[in-house]
Structure 1
Amino acid sequence: MKSIIFLGDSRDRLREFPDKARSRAGFELGKVQAGDEPADWKPMPSVGPGVREIRVREAAGAFRVVYLAAVEEGVLVLHAFQKKTQATPKADLDLAAKRLRTWKEAR
């Protein structure tokens, strides 16, 4: 099983999700750790190659966890946020991409 590596404040942001959304996101990340696919995801090529987004829909709203599992170190959680509009805000995409670039440069 791969380890989870939270970049930036992604762990704190995930902890801010409402209970049901946080629980679901954690369950889906556990599936990714085990090498399985989450139930609802989409690729995020604008952030980087192999980057995906876990989509969690709850009564409290839509929540997203942006991650990269295609590295041997573990599952990189780049960003976690609540989605409030139809399109993913550019600021959230840019933040995830910046964290990935910073991680790659430090490697």
Structure 2
Amino acid sequence: MIDAKPLTFCGSSLDDLREFPLSARRDAGYQLDQVQRGRDPDDWKPMNTIGQGVREIRIRDANGAFRIIYLAKLADAVYVLHCFQKKTPKTSKADLDLATKRYRELKEVKP
């Protein structure tokens, strides 16, 4: 059994996650638990445009599409960079820019 890595939320990502509807929040918690235990979430894709090793968890439910952008490749924790509700087929530039900014800030502290 692999020990679960702790979750570290960057910026407002925890508050943003708490704004998800209950069903999406529950799914997000389960998916993040999978990542903490070294497993892949059920639906994800790499986000190499943000940074090396960055991934996006994709959650769909009756309330819409929700995303969690995270970095799990560092040994000490799973870093949640950004959580948001997706409103268009393409991820908005503002969401990508915010995740990229938080990734760069993290890399300055944890090279």
Show the 5 A alignment for 1:9-48: 9-48=12-51
Distance apart, 1:106 and its partner CA: 2.3
* CA distance in structure 1 between the aligned counterparts of 2:93 and 2:49, rounded to whole angstroms: 10
> Moved runs in structure 1, 4+ residues, more than 6 A?
none
The residue number in structure 1 matching 2:106 is 103
More strand by share: 1
- What do you get for the CA RMSD once the two structures are aligned? 0.6
Q: Count residues in correspondence.
A: 107
Consecutive unaligned residues of structure 1, counting only runs of 5 or more, are none
User: TM-score when scaled to structure 2?
Assistant: 0.94
Identity of aligned residues (%): 58
* CA distance in structure 1 between the aligned counterparts of 2:109 and 2:54, rounded to whole angstroms: 18
Show the 5 A alignment for 1:62-81: 62-81=65-84
Consecutive unaligned residues of structure 2, counting only runs of 5 or more, are none
* CA distance in structure 2 between the aligned counterparts of 1:29 and 1:7, rounded to whole angstroms: 14
